[in-house]
Every structure is written in C-alpha cells, then in structure tokens.
Structure 1
C-alpha cells in the first residue's frame, strides 16, 4: 500500500527539536488525529500504532497518519500483542482482547507527550513501562493546562468501558470535551485550521525534513557464523 510522498517530515522530529509543543499546537494536532481516528473507526479499522514517528506533516503542515502495519479491521476484539511499549493500553499488555479503545488510550499518551515533551509512562526496560501502565502511576509536569489534564485522564482510563471515545457516543464524546470547545470540526475535516508548523520545502521531492540514516556501513558488518546459520536450517 503506497501513499504519495509526504515531504514535511515526522512530527517526532519537530517535537524533539522544540522540546514540547505549546497548548495551541498540541490542540491543532490532537484535532486532526481525532478526526482521522473517527474516520478509521467508522470503517471498523483499529490503527494500533499511534506515535509521533508515524505522524507526517504534508507540505502545508497538516498531519497524515502513516505505517498501517498494525492496523486491522475488527468485528469484535483481537488479541495480538503489538504496538510501541510507551503507547500500549493496559488491555493489550494483559492479553484481555482489545478493540478501537486502544487508539483513544494512545491519543491520551500522545497529547501528554506533546505538551510535556516525554511520555507519561517511561522506563529503561519495557517491563518497567508495562508495570507503570498497569499501575497507573504517572506524574504531571508543571505547568499542565487543567483542561488538557482532564482530557488526558479520561483517555487514560484503565477501564476501557469508561474510556473517553469508547463509550456510547464514540468519538463524539472526545470532540465535545472542553479541550476542543472552540473547534469547528467541519473546518478540521476540510483542513481549514492554520497549522502551527509549515515545513520548509523547495520542491515536491524535497527530503530535507527527514533525518538521515546512513546505510554505508553494511559492507563492514561481519557475516553470520555457520553456527548461527545452522539454527535456521529447519525453516
């Protein structure tokens, strides 16, 4: 599955360069993600890999979600353990079966990270991250906008049946939260909101907004030993 080239680079790069986003910037990106998730969920598609690295900016600064490798069409629940440790919902870690509610949890993580500059559950070891997620242990940076904090708490509700976005009114409950009180959702859908960041782009194929990952050291990499190769002989 191919997209057109999206030349603005990853939201991740802009967030790391800025340290954290201002409240209006975080609000803008949250709006566009809510609109995208609402559309995916209307098609019964759960995305399952929301994170700054998978959000690209187009030439005008609007978001595009990319990397649908973990996306799945659901009729009920699924049990596959997949995603990025810091963004996993409790029900994924506990193998209880999960549905589109995991995307709303991940949105809560993302909004926190955009406004704080780091995710709410962090540890050097993935299992340490899982323990913190399941324990619900998180600290709040100062200052943190109280309305944004309330939205994040309601998205990071351990009980998915009470999680914002996964109740009777679905995405409408998220869109009606006070955090989005001045938002015209038709304008969001039509991309009429003014992006906080407009990428520097000289031409359609410009790659300057993507980090460079050199691949010229592969020739010096040692070959796999015969012993290691033998382990795969039966496959």
Structure 2
C-alpha cells in the first residue's frame, strides 16, 4: 500500500480547482461564518409548541430520547422532531452539550447540513424540529449493498468535504462523522445530521468523544486537537463506504485504539490506485502531513485525482448527477427508516429542571 502511494506520487494532484476559484469561495465562506457568529450571539425565541405538530412514527431512538416523524398542522410539511428528555440530559451531564447543539443548529446555513426549523421546550422535554430527510441513513443503504461503488463514495465524500470545509470556516469541529449521521435526501444528495458533539473552538480542545472506529489518534492520545480530527474521520468514511467496513476494527475498543494510533490498515485489492493514494494521505497519524490539514486546506481534496470527475460548483448547487435516487412515494414516506415500538410520551404537572434549562 505504501509502495502504491509512493509510485503514484505527486501526480495524484491535478489542476482541477484553481487557487483563484478557491479564494473566491473562501470569501463566500467568510460571509457564511459572519452569519453563523451573528446567530451564535443572538438569542432566538422558540417559535412553536407541541400542539402545532402531529406525531406519526418513531424514526430513531437514542440515549436522550426519540426522533419522531411529525406533520406541521399549519403548513402540512413533514419534519423530524428530536425529543430530548431533560432528566436523561441531566443524568448524563449533557446540559451544556444540548444547549450548544441548539445554538449550532440555529446558526447552520449550508446545503449539506441539517438546520433548526423550530425549537421549544415543555415540562419534560426539549424539542428540536429539523427538516425531514426521507431517504434515511447512509448506514442503512451501505449495509444493504455491502459496499458502495467508488463513484458513489466519491459523490458522497465530495459533499462531506464541502460540509466540513463550511463547518471549519465557522470555527466548528464536528467530531461525529459516520454513515449513521449522514442522511440521503429524495434528490440523492446528503445532509449531515446530529451535532451533539459539534463544538465552537478557537484553538484546541481535549474532550474524548466520538465513535471508536472513527476517532483520530490525537483524540485517543489526549494531545489536544482541532479541526484535523474531522479530516481523519473523512478518511475512515471513504474507506468504509468503499470497503463495507472501517479500516480499524476489532471487537475490543482498546484494540481498535491501538490500531488507530499505529496507523496500520490494509486497503482491499479492488480499491483504485487513486483511492488508495487519497486514503494514505488522509490517514496520517502525523497531523502535519494529513490532507485537509495542510496549507491548501480542502483545496488539496478538490485537486486530487480521485475527485477529477467532480465539478465542485455543480455539486454545491445540486446540479451534479446523483448515482442513486431513493424511491420516495410521498413527502411523509418513512419506508427507508426502521420501525420502532411506540414509546409513551411522558408528562409532568410541574416544569422539571426549570433552572438547568432556563437559557434554552
């Protein structure tokens, strides 16, 4: 594998996206950054209540609560309503995380990221109302197919690169990239979701969080880290999409961590030379050599030979052909989501943890 990369050498980079184009795009990202910071400093008021929505079915469950498919009774539009139980948030010491997730979702404004449409709270729950993405999780499609063709991995990976470039321009480190957190729209394009681990940073942070197989070595080694960890997880994602399994895996998380820190993995034989080269440049344990973290930033991805078929401007404007279009029969079609047992929604005559969530 290392020999392949060496043989492939600097020819992996092609003049596909010019420095001038990137500079122009950077100006656009700066404007989006200013918009995000304005939203971050703002204190938006909640604009809805539970009675405005009709809950239809559970789309997913987690440690803090459930996600429902809901219909907005006034507009007739469908949304994903994330109901976070205050008691669980307090027990798991995640008050600050949930507060920042709300602030981040309210400020996001990028085509490949979900955003907050409405938010509110009641005596028992916090509610995040997000766009409903009917095509389901990438994870579901990946498990069904076993692995993606490289054309599909390329299409999805390029959108993830643009999403991470946007988040980093907004001083946000995402920290939870994985197929479960990538949703497929009815157009075949993606949206990144679940910003529970996302954090506004200026400098470095030390929190150990994320999914074991996707953790960067600098997180495991408690070195303090920045945006570089997201580029590492992109390398893991490109590998998993194209192989059907992550590059570092074992039944024991400690063994996974050992493999990650050693940076040892094997690419399947069916990987193209270009993909092997790209992954070898991303899964660098030395962050000073990791693609995405170098002087040219995301431009190094845009000009890598594996992405030569990608028209980045067309992709950004959703004009690049998608390799797979989900069959969505109606706006509220939930056939791409698993079925879950209905859960009883809790009620309380008094406002629980009112002081803890006073700023929400």
Partner Cα separation in structure 1 for residue 215 and residue 335 of structure 2? 31
Partner Cα separation in structure 2 for residue 110 and residue 29 of structure 1? 10
Tell me the equivalent position of 1:39.
166
Match of 1:176 among 283, 288, 303: 303
Partner Cα separation in structure 2 for residue 74 and residue 31 of structure 1? 24
Partner Cα separation in structure 1 for residue 343 and residue 297 of structure 2? 48
Superposed CA offset, 1:5-27 (max 9, x none):
11110000000000000011111
Displacement after TM superposition at 1:214 (Å): 2.8
State how 1:141-152 maps to structure 2 within 5 Å: 141-152=268-279
Tell me the equivalent position of 1:77.
204
Tell me the equivalent position of 1:12.
139
Pair 1:214 & 2:350 matched: no
Superposed CA offset, 1:92-127 (max 9, x none):
000101111111100000000011110000000110
Tell me the equivalent position of 1:197.
324
Tell me the equivalent position of 2:267.
140
Which structure is higher in strand share?
2
Displacement after TM superposition at 1:215 (Å): 5.1
State how 1:50-69 maps to structure 2 within 5 Å: 50-69=177-196
Q: Which runs of 4+ in 1 moved over 4 A?
A: none
Gaps of at least 5 residues in structure 2 are 1-101, 103-115, 117-129, 345-360
Tell me the equivalent position of 2:254.
127
Greater CA drift, 6-15 or 174-183: 174-183
Partner Cα separation in structure 2 for residue 52 and residue 90 of structure 1? 20
Pair 1:158 & 2:291 matched: no
Tell me the equivalent position of 2:156.
29
Displacement after TM superposition at 1:182 (Å): 2.5
Pair 1:186 & 2:308 matched: no
Greater C-alpha radius of gyration? 2
Partner Cα separation in structure 2 for residue 86 and residue 110 of structure 1? 10
User: Which secondary structure state, in structure 1, belongs to the residue aligned with residue 292 of structure 2?
Assistant: coil
CA contact (8 A) 2:136 2:184 kept: yes
Higher relative contact order (CA 8 A, sep 6+): 1
CA contact (8 A) 1:35 1:188 kept: no
CA contact (8 A) 2:155 2:310 kept: no
Tell me the equivalent position of 1:233.
none
Partner Cα separation in structure 1 for residue 256 and residue 342 of structure 2? 31
Displacement after TM superposition at 1:49 (Å): 0.4
CA contact (8 A) 1:79 1:98 kept: yes
Superposed CA offset, 1:29-83 (max 9, x none):
1111111111111111111100000000111111000000000111101000000
Calculate the TM-score normalised by the size of structure 2.
Answer: 0.59
Greater CA drift, 182-191 or 45-54: 182-191
Displacement after TM superposition at 1:216 (Å): 6.6
Partner Cα separation in structure 1 for residue 144 and residue 309 of structure 2? 28
Query: What is the number of equivalent residue pairs in this alignment?
Result: 217
Partner Cα separation in structure 1 for residue 271 and residue 325 of structure 2? 25
